[in-house]
Amino acid sequence: MKFLIQFIIFILIFCFLMWFGGKVGLFNSNIEVVNASRICPTAAVPVGQRDVSHYTLGREEETDSSPCHGRYGDDLCQMYKVYHSYGPTVEICASNEFPENTVLVIGDNMKCIVKDTMNSRYKNRIDIATMDYEESRLWGVQVLDVSVVP
């Protein structure tokens, strides 16, 4: 219960700061923080069910020779740490179907921002970034409803 209350308070503060502040640069980085109306949606547009998996940032076995850098040049390991510094409210994900910076709602309430692409053989899959190999392994592949935040 305490976690839920903290989570709700964090979301409200985060949304206010996003609305009020626009963009934030941390650690001399060009980490983009998207507009609050995209993170705190009033209505997302359903696009159907997709296979959803996890991948581990920093593991060459699951990515490529630069495992912390996404297709669009972002340092995803640093971005993950910033996004998760107050709790996992917004995930980083990879998709070949949706363009960069698209905000997705996956399942009931998981939100992610597309910051990477996947191997070309995955057409309709979304890959959620994590730093925990065991969490990725245990998640497996799940078929979940996906919506796009306009």
Distance CA(102)–CA(150), nearest Å, equals 8
Which of 52, 62, 19 minimizes the C-alpha distance to 126?
52
Which contiguous run of DSSP H or E holds residue 38? helix 36-39
Give average pLDDT by consecutive 10-residue segment, the chain, 150 residues: 68 60 45 51 82 85 71 82 76 92 90 88 89 88 93
**Is 37 within the bounds of a domain?**
no
**Is 85 within the bounds of a domain?**
yes
pLDDT for res 82? 82
* Whether the Cβ atoms of residue 125 and residue 104 lie closer than 8 Å to each other: no
**Is 26 within the bounds of a domain?**
no
pLDDT for res 50? 95
**Is 2 within the bounds of a domain?**
no
* Eight-class DSSP state of 48: E
**Is 18 within the bounds of a domain?**
no
The pTM of this model reads 0.67
**Is 62 within the bounds of a domain?**
yes
The CATH number covering residue 135 comes to: 2.40.40.10
Domain that holds residue 70: 43-149
Q: Domains in the chain: how many in total? A: 1
Distance CA(146)–CA(105), nearest Å, equals 6
Interior angle at CA 77, CA 71 and CA 79, nearest 5: 85
Distance CA(52)–CA(47), nearest Å, equals 14
pLDDT for res 106? 93
